[in-house]
Amino acid sequence: MPTSYRIAEAAALLGVSDDTVRRWIDSARLPARREGSGPATVDGADLARLATGLREAPEPGATPSSARNRLTGIVTRVVRDTVMAQVEIQAGPFRLVSLMSREAADELGLEIGVRAVATVKATQVSVDVP
């Protein structure tokens, strides 16, 4: 059974506004269908293809890495003590927290408002379905 999403659901999954999804539908970037006078829906496979295409290309000069989970965001909090630093990054709807040495945070110039890329490499990832 194919999965379909309403515009607001598709927008939430992609981390964009409802208006952005509507513009993509209007410009034929994202196919949608409407049955009668009901709400427009987007096929799950079409949404997945668009999501795959939205992946950010590595920044020019970026160091190649085997990690594929790179989330670009903005630093929202930095807590430093004498040895360690806790850095929070908001990447779209995702809040990521990294613990690193204070020296590393200082060398990277991590402060509130700085653009940063969180790279996640894990041996296990748990997936839940709502």
73 and 120 in contact (C-beta within 8 Å)? no
Are 37 and 78 within one domain? Answer: no
23 found inside a domain: yes
> Dihedral angle at the C-alpha atoms of 115, 75, 96, 123, nearest 10 degrees?
50
Prediction pTM value: 0.56
Are 8 and 32 within one domain? Answer: yes
CB-based contacts of 76: which residues, under 8 Å, 6+ apart? 88, 89, 90, 95, 112
Provide the domain count of the chain: 2
The CATH number of the domain holding residue 74 is 2.40.50.100
Residue 1 has pLDDT above 60, yes or no: no
125 found inside a domain: no
61 found inside a domain: no
11's tokens: 């927008």
The CATH number of the domain holding residue 46 is 1.10.1660.10
Are 73 and 49 within one domain? Answer: no
State residue 57's pLDDT score: 56
Domain of residue 114: give its range: 69-120
58 found inside a domain: no
68's tokens: 């594929």
Are 47 and 76 within one domain? Answer: no
The identity of residue 108, as a single letter, is L
40-51 pLDDT, tens digit per residue, is 999 998 998 888
Are 12 and 49 within one domain? Answer: yes
* Other CB atoms within 10 Å distance of the CB of residue 24: 20
7-40 pLDDT, tens digit per residue, is 999 888 888 889 999 999 999 999 999 888 889 9
64 found inside a domain: no
